[in-house]
A and B are shown apart, each in its own frame.
Chain A
């Protein structure tokens, strides 16, 4: 039996959703995008153009909820299925869009370069428990105007896994979509085999900016999956209570569902978010706070109740280093998220309030994910009944190390983590150099990068992507892209 954890009763969910719908209909939502306002007006919503305000109706919300797909799949660059976002299936993806990376050599943060990004992608490509890549940080050695498309380009070049990404501007969408059309061969093929998910954020409280709402529309027009990332900050930009925050999150996310489904009914979406409590001592948004994680798990239950697959920024840490706090917050988050069935779990590798990626943490988190995924298998009998023969064997042989039963089920029943997790005896650990967690993790990073094998994406396709990226760079006055081979 797959273990499942719940925080909300159906009755409470009904009440929360009811309040959220009332907010959208009576207080309305601010959308700084005239085309969207016009579209919703055409469908019977009351629009106040001058203050970018729209009052939704129950019928609009209802028909958006009817149109939204209950599940969808992702495919890698080669076209193989990798994800089925449905029910309680869970997949991990690295935390996205960090400002810095934590440099192993100096133990300091710094702005990442192209070479850092390529190293990151090479690592992700080989981590078994991380199902997709994310555009995890922004190489600072290209001009800002292309920084969001450039990281996606590098991801497609070096790794086969699908990508969780997003744009910083409206203009960048076009090339980011073009890359995907090139890889799939046609718009139709891209539609039938989605390759990326774009994160699109409403602004708390209950507002959409021009850029992010246009991103939702652009994605919908190409059936590119979107994850809505609402970020109510409890006690600051949202009520202090977890239920109050959930009402706001529901209203903000439902407004996104309406925009996408009215643009193109049936566009795949993830009911996502990155809410946090606001720490009124430090003026920060802790992702590792237990209340933050409770909100994540709970809105995921609401999304499921409304019939949508879900996403969450959970299993990351606010610590500045790879230390016990990092393990604690990432481990608890991953476990809770998996037990609650958050379908796309964004977080591994991330530190410092979503602002710093660490490759060493990423390989450690890969083990956390592995253990968590194993946990979800639950406890099932495997030739355990009747048990007498097994115990007769044990009593006779005095051990079961080479028993048929052991050999058959050893690798299924146990998850053997890699060397990052220390399970040696103290003496052996000392004999092998008393290597610390950070050193072991770094060793793994280097080993994995050395073992990297190129992506099997066709060379011609890679060349086409490079041509497009280079043209885009020229457009913004960059003569050459940085070396990365």
Chain B
């Protein structure tokens, strides 16, 4: 147990070197990879998330912690024989067609990864059909869409309408975000959730994937 605490603590300090050392130690001590992952790495990231939300720490601290988490995950990966590291969900994310603003979307993607999701980032100017095709191909449970222009918001609705057409509503959940987007707009177009920043995005995506 002590080792897992150490992993979590050094992860919170963003010390990837130490996280690597203690993860190795934990593996040697025959602690199961799943336990190391959940009670060491992800446990530490959850605390980081809470502290960030409470403004006790800042974004760079979170990203450093995420980097430390990946260091530990890299060691665990070969131990999960089939299917690789168990993720808590797969998210396809992108900025909608006609829109080049990707800073916020990138940040949300990085943070979702840090929280343990597998994230497939389609970049910017993503067409509605591309969202659907990749989500289907990757068997993703969530599509995340970003728009920063008033004029590109309607593409979000097109994606949701396509999901309806393909009877994928419910199977693939949708979350939207970006400066012009609101909770109300999300409701209007039938999106499953709206997120206003990266921490909020994590909470909402966890909600969508039944994690909370």
A residues with CB within 8 A of B: 99-100, 111, 138, 140, 144-145, 147-148, 168-169, 203, 209, 211, 233, 235-237, 280-283, 353, 355
Flag if B150 contacts A280 (CB, 8 Å): no
Q: In the complex the two chains form, is B58's CB within 8 Å of A281's CB?
A: yes
Segment among B21-29, B99-107, B162-170 that sits at the interface with chain A: B99-107
- The interface centre, meaning the residue of A111, A144, A282 with most chain B CB atoms within 10 A of its CB, is A144
> Max chain B CB contacts within 10 Å: which of A168, A211, A233?
A168
Flag if A283 contacts B104 (CB, 8 Å): yes
Minimal beta-carbon separation of B185 from chain A (angstroms)? 9
Q: Is the CB–CB distance between A147 and B150 below 8 Å? A: yes
- A144 to B151, Cβ gap below 8 A? yes
| CB–CB A111/B100 < 8 A | no
State which of B59, B149, B150 has its C-beta within 8 Å of the C-beta of A140: B150
Q: Which residues of A contact B59 (CB under 8 A)?
A: 280-281, 283
Interface secondary structure of A, over-half rule? loop
- Closest Cβ neighbor of B103 among chain A residues: A237
Flag B154-195 by CB within 8 Å of A: 1 or 0 each: 100000000000000000000000011000000000000000
Residues of B within 8 A of A138 (CB): 150-151
Q: B151 → chain A, closest Cβ, in Å?
A: 4
Q: Given the complex of chains A and B, what is the CA–CA distance between A355 and B198 in angstroms?
A: 19
Size of the B side of the interface (Cβ < 8 Å), in residues, is 18
User: What are 15 A-B interface contacts by the 8 Å CB criterion?
Assistant: A99-B150, A138-B150, A144-B152, A145-B151, A148-B151, A168-B98, A168-B151, A169-B151, A203-B100, A233-B103, A237-B103, A280-B59, A281-B55, A283-B198, A355-B180
A-B contact count (CB 8 A): 43
Sample of 19 further A-B pairs with CB below 8 A, known A147-B150, A147-B151, A169-B98: A99-B179, A99-B180, A111-B150, A140-B150, A144-B150, A144-B151, A144-B152, A203-B100, A209-B100, A211-B100, A237-B103, A280-B58, A280-B59, A281-B55, A281-B59, A283-B104, A283-B107, A353-B179, A355-B180
Contact partners of A236 in chain B: CB under 8 A? 103
Tell me whether B197 is interfacial, beta carbon within 8 Å: yes
- On B, residues with C-beta under 8 Å from A are 55, 58-60, 98, 100, 103-104, 107, 149-152, 154, 179-180, 197-198
Check if A282 sits within 8 Å of B151, measured CB to CB.
no
Residues of A within 8 A of B98 (CB): 168-169
Cα separation A282 to B60 with both chains bound (whole Å): 12
- Chain B contacts for A211, CB-based, 8 A: 100
Please give me the residue from chain A that is nearest to B61 by CB atom. Answer: A280
B55 contact set on A, CB distance < 8 A: 281
Chain B proximity of A99: nearest CB distance (Å): 4
- Bound state CA distance, A235 and B59, in angstroms? 11
Chain A residues with CB below 8 A from B197, complex form: 282-283
Which residues from chain A contact B198 at a C-beta distance below 8 Å? 283
Task: Report the 5 A-B pairs with minimum CB-CB distance, sorted nearest first.
Answer: A144-B151, A280-B59, A280-B58, A99-B180, A138-B150
Cα-based distance from A60 to B150 in the complex (angstroms):
37
B180 proximity list for chain A (CB < 8 A): 99-100, 355
**Distance, CA A148 to CA B150, complexed state (A):** 11
Q: In the complex the two chains form, what is the Cα distance from A144 to B107 in whole Å?
A: 27
